[in-house]
Amino acid sequence: MSMHNSNQSPRRRAEGPRGVTILGSTGSIGVSTLDVLARHPDRFRVVALTANTQVERLLEQCRQHRPQCAVMRDRQAAGQLEVRLRESGLATEVLSGEEGLAMAAALQQSGIVVAAIVGAAGLMPTLAAVRHGKRVLLANKEPLVMSGHILMQEANRSGAELLPVDSEHNAIFQCLPGGYRAGVPSPGVRKILLTCSGGPFRTTPLAALTGVTPEQACAHPRWAMGRKISVDSATLMNKGLEVIEASRLFGIAPDQIEIVIHPQSVVHSLVSYADGSVLAQLGNPDMRTPIAHALAWPERIESGVRELDLIEVAQLDFERPDPQRFPCLRLATEAARAGGTMPAILNAANEVAVSAFLGGTIGFTDIPRVIEHVLSRVSMSEENELAVILADDARAREAAERFIVGHPGRLKRGVQ
Ligand code: NAD
Ligand code: MG
């Protein structure tokens, strides 16, 4: 895989617009990606769009972007979409299920695949895109946390380009020296500074955290995102997952990654070099910037994002995260240090806990409790093959679900 394969653009131009598949097109990242693509019909062509169950939204996107193929993971939803597309007189081919997602990721007409499904569900389609040598824009961080080394190995084999879209990782990518390769350490880097807004509960009194609702947790002060990542941003598990994501992408030990709370979300991350230089990437908090950057890289294109006005920002604050307020950070750091399948176990436990919180079964402060329980009970494997990772992911989910079902009184105390 390479991130320095920079001399393709003239050839691309001559061949016309580049085909793009968006895995998870109805989500927050998917919609932002379509917004950027629609600004550049000369460069990009939407080839395939995919969603889980949202028929109406995917239908609307098909009407607007005329893809050759649309995939619904849910088979019943796929049937409905097919009927609605024919009623609309559209010829878009409809696929369904896991295999439909993998086919959309592998389509020969798509040179670019945007991985924007949420959670572990994105792993197999992302892997399919990597195996088929695509330029893969990685927003979906969970597959990297679970099996980053497998994605890197497969990319090395196929020549796929892995480009980070997560805003912090895209910022770091922009601050690293040219010639950087995913998974390989860059010379002269002393440390990576990952910035973090602190989420909606940065200053909420600790005692009030047990009672916060999903709506409060999803009301992020700086970014409008899907519900799962919004909860992760409120617990700071998102930052914990991002430490693991950064260590995989940039070939750097978790201990060389420092988290800095930066409430304005203007500095998206920094790279500190041996000579004392610290490089940062700044911009308004809008995912269309990293998406446009990775779509056109190494060129620069319009993204629709408002120019940063430093005078208006006026002040940039930085502080250390409070470990007592954010126990998920410690859990993620422990899992990162343990290595093996521990990050996959952490991720699976977190996915179950977040979904239980969003469903009203457990309280906000129960999320780290569930994860801590799973980390202490589910044994990890040193081996890191895909089958082993998936088996440990399944064991972690079972353990988390059993714990939640087994402690109905103690958990959910916060929302009763
Ligand atoms: P979202 O919930 O808004 O959208 C998720 C998309 O995935 C939807 O299109 C949905 O239909 C699809 N999907 C959900 N479950 C699926 C399943 N089981 N099978 C197939 N498709 C499924 O999420 P989002 O906020 O766009 O985030 C997507 C990914 O990008 C996440 O991994 C998140 O961590 C990462 N990310 C998001 C942001 C952001 O600003 N939203 C920033 C950085 C990274
Ligand atoms: Mg991020």
**Chain-centroid distance, C-alpha 265:** 17
> Is any atom of ligand 1 closer than 6 Å to the C-beta of 30?
yes
> Is any atom of ligand 1 closer than 6 Å to the C-beta of 267?
no
What topology is assigned to 8-165 in CATH? Rossmann fold (3.40.50)
Top pLDDT among 77 and 12 is at 77
The answer to whether residues 122 and 106 touch, using CB atoms and an 8 Å cutoff, is no
How confident is the model over 125-160, as pLDDT tens digits? 999 999 999 999 999 999 999 999 999 999 999 999
Counting ligands in written order, the one closest to the CA of 225 is: 1
Place 409 in a pLDDT band, splitting at 50, 70 and 90: low
Average pLDDT over residues 408-416: 53
The answer to whether residues 184 and 251 touch, using CB atoms and an 8 Å cutoff, is yes
> Is any atom of ligand 1 closer than 6 Å to the C-beta of 176?
no
What is the 3-class SS of 370-383, one letter each residue?
HHHHHHHHCCCCCC
Select from 197, 243, 194 the least CA-distant residue to 220.
Answer: 197
The amino acid at residue 342 is: M
Distance 226 CA to ligand 1 centre (A): 6
Distance 220 CA to ligand 1 centre (A): 16
Dist. CA 85–CA 83, nearest whole Å: 6
Closest-CA residue, ligand 1 atom 18, reads 121
Which atom of ligand 1 has the smallest separation from the CA of 140?
A: 32
User: What Cα–Cα distance (Å) separates residue 148 from each residue in 34, 135, 152, 341?
Assistant: 26, 16, 6, 11
Q: Hey, what's the torsion of the CAs at 51, 57, 60, 65, to 10 degrees?
A: -40
> Is any atom of ligand 1 closer than 6 Å to the C-beta of 141?
yes
**Per-residue pLDDT at 238:** 98
Can you give the residue ranges of every domain in the chain?
8-165, 339-403
**Per-residue pLDDT at 411:** 63
Closest-CA residue, ligand 1 atom 36, reads 139
How confident is the model over 256-288, as pLDDT tens digits? 999 999 999 999 999 999 999 999 999 999 999
Counting ligands in written order, the one closest to the CA of 230 is: 1
User: What Cα–Cα distance (Å) separates residue 30 from each residue in 20, 236, 296?
Assistant: 12, 23, 16
pTM of the model: 0.95
**Chain-centroid distance, C-alpha 165:** 8
What topology is assigned to 339-403 in CATH? Rna Polymerase Sigma Factor; Chain: A (1.10.1740)
Q: Residue 354: is its pLDDT beyond 60? A: yes
Which of 225, 233, 287, 354 should be mutated for ligand 1, with most atoms under 8 A from CB?
Answer: 225
Distance 290 CA to ligand 2 centre (A): 10
Terminal C-alpha separation, the chain: 51
> Is any atom of ligand 1 closer than 6 Å to the C-beta of 77?
no
SS3 187: coil
> Is any atom of ligand 1 closer than 6 Å to the C-beta of 73?
yes
Q: Residue 54: which residues within 8 A CB-CB, separation 6 or more?
A: 26, 77
Closest-CA residue, ligand 1 atom 9, reads 24
Top pLDDT among 266 and 221 is at 266
